[in-house]
Amino acid sequence: MSEQKKVSLKEYNTFGIDVQAVAISSVTSVADLQRIIQEKDPSELFVIGGGSNMLLTKDIDKHVVHIHMKGYTVVDLPCGENEILLNVAGGENWHDFVLYCIDKGYGGVENLSLIPGNVGTAPIQNIGAYGVELKDVFYECEAVSRANGEIKTFSLEDCAFGYRDSVFKTLLKDQYVITSVTFRLTTKEHKVKTAYGAIADTLKAQGIVAPTIKDVSDAVIKIRQAKLPDPKKIGNSGSFFKNPVISQATFSALRKQYPEIPYYPVGSNQIKVPAGWLIEQAGFKGKRFGDAGVHDKQALVLVNHGNASGSEIWNLALKVQDAVKEKFGLTITPEVNVF
Ligand code: EPU
């Protein structure tokens, strides 16, 4: 475990916000993490994984714990004939994990290619893209209590996954650090999911009729690269807002006024409306205020064009929120955690 005092967190958050922390320790084992939890009061600690879902608006007056455990282990427990249970350390980069699976021929996460962040933070918001969510391949995860360092295993049911949601965002918010995740993946007869419009179109354009998991992953990478900014080149946290889920009645009224509004039914009586569309219609796509901006190819993504502060990004988020509220009467809420 390495410790540094008074450090900039610029390299530790994908928005590239330059705030300072009192100290930072990179932990490479569960034992290291337990040691630091036992030494300090929980209120003194601030946990960072891939730093891809946070907006830092001020200096962090805490000791940052950077989750850096690595490794893959095949778990020897009963599973389906064409399945494997793979345990992945929380500090592994998510996309590296996806590429590892493609390389080994493990199916299930190909639609989740190129999502920024780490394996250990993926369950917190049940990451999802192109018709697949983490919960679809989740078997269990291991987490350490921030209060006393005890290890607990969470099953699929325990996690209470929902749209960009889990028990780690609600009942157990800030109470556990996820140290590893076990995935249920396919080893053959993969069930590739290509129904999501953009994937089907991309594969069709390439003349691929029976796509492999690699074909799907490549298509997703292509689609994401065309629409979403690479955090290494331009700071961002992916979707800044969640897509609002509204009642059928609210949606019907809205559709009368805006017949072209895109939508996705959720269950039998609710409708999910793309916040990106709402923001674009409100006139914010590609807008820039100093170095804080709305991405020009996907309005759901806020970007740091260089040296924006966290507060500048947050002020822009509030402006966007107000404009959507005023035009459509809908409240869009951040998906990103704001500190
Ligand atoms: N749209 C616009 N203008 C925009 C952006 C989108 O009109 O600026 C429209 C699109 O034309 C389309 C609809 O909105 O009709 C949906 O757009 P898209 O397919 O890009 O998906 P999204 O709802 O904007 C969600 C996830 C993304 C994920 C994509 C693909 C959320 C909050 N975001 O975005 O996740 O990659 O679907 O599955 O659910 C992330 O969480 O960081 C993320 C990128």
pLDDT at 5: 86
Do 196 and 88 sit in the same domain of this protein? yes
Q: Answer whether 129's CB lies under 8 Å from 115's CB.
A: yes
Ligand 1 mean position, distance from CA 273 (Å): 10
Domain enclosing residue 275, as ranges: 235-338
In degrees and rounded to multiples of 5, residue 118 shows phi and psi of -110, 165
pLDDT tens-digit map of 133-145: 999 999 999 999 9
Are residues 281 and 334 both part of a single domain?
yes
Question: Pick from 187, 203, 227: which residue ends a domain?
Answer: 227
Q: Which of 273, 277, 280 to mutate to test the pocket of ligand 1 (most atoms within 8 A of CB)?
A: 277
Distance 30 CA to ligand 1 centre (A): 36
Alpha helix ranges (H) inside the chain: 30-39, 94-104, 156-159, 197-205, 213-227, 248-257, 275-281, 310-328
d(CA 11, ligand 1 centre) in Å: 26
Name the burial class of residue 29, with classes exposed (0-12), middle (13-18) and buried (19+) by CB atoms within 10 angstroms of its CB.
Answer: middle
What percentage of residues in the chain have a pLDDT greater than 70?
100
* Catalytic residue list contains 335: yes
Looking at the structure, do residues 30 and 95 belong to the same domain, yes or no?
no
Q: Compute CA distances 339 → 2, 46, 58, 317, 336, whole Å.
A: 24, 11, 7, 14, 10
Q: Tell me which residue of 158, 159, 167, 141 sits closest to 69, measured CA to CA.
A: 141
Domain of 212, CATH number, reads: 3.30.465.10
Residue 288 a catalytic site member: no
Could you tell me if 128 and 104 lie in one domain? Answer: yes
> What pLDDT is recorded for position 56?
98
Answer yes or no: do 221 and 292 share one domain.
no
CB atoms within 10 A of CB 51: 24
**What pLDDT is attached to residue 3?**
82
Q: Are residues 47 and 173 located together in one domain of the fold? A: no
Q: Last residue of some domain: 202, 227, 252?
A: 227
The reply to whether 76 and 221 lie within a common domain is yes
For the entire predicted model, the pTM comes to 0.94
130: Cβ below 6 Å to ligand 1? Answer: yes
Alpha carbon 89 to its chain centroid, in Å, reads 17
Mapped onto helix, strand or coil, the DSSP state of residue 234 is coil
Residues 194 and 304 occupy one common structural domain = no
Instruction: Please give the tally of structural domains in the chain.
Output: 3
Q: At which of 192, 227, 262 does a domain end? A: 227
Instruction: Confirm or reject: Cβ of 277 under 6 Å from ligand 1.
Output: yes
Whether residues 102 and 188 share a domain: the answer is yes
- Residue 300 Cα to ligand 1 midpoint, Å, equals 7
CATH of the domain at 332: 3.90.78.10
**Among all chains, which residue has been given the structure tokens 């292509």?**
222
For residues 90 and 160, state if they share a domain. Answer: yes
> Tens-of-pLDDT digits for all 339 residues of the chain?
778 889 999 999 999 999 999 999 999 999 999 999 999 998 999 999 999 999 999 999 999 999 999 999 999 988 989 999 999 999 999 999 999 999 999 999 999 999 999 999 999 999 999 999 999 999 999 999 999 999 999 999 999 999 999 999 999 999 999 999 999 999 999 999 999 879 999 999 999 999 999 999 999 999 999 999 999 999 999 999 999 999 999 999 999 999 999 999 998 899 999 999 999 999 999 999 999 999 999 999 999 999 999 999 999 999 999 999 999 999 999 999 999
> Tell me: the pLDDT tens digits for 83-129?
999 999 999 999 999 999 999 999 999 999 999 999 999 999 999 99
Least Cα distance to 263 among 246, 239, 286, 282 occurs for 246
Residues 77 and 193 in one domain: yes
CATH of the domain at 9: 3.30.43.10
Q: CA 252, CA 257: separation in Å to the nearest integer?
A: 9
Q: Is 164 a catalytic residue?
A: yes
Answer yes or no: do 13 and 125 share one domain: no
Please tell me the distance from the alpha carbon of residue 212 to that of residue 190, in angstroms, as a whole number. 8
Six token digits for residue 51: 């730093």
Q: What is the pLDDT of residue 45?
A: 96
Report whether residue 94 contacts ligand 1, using a CB cutoff of 6 Å: no
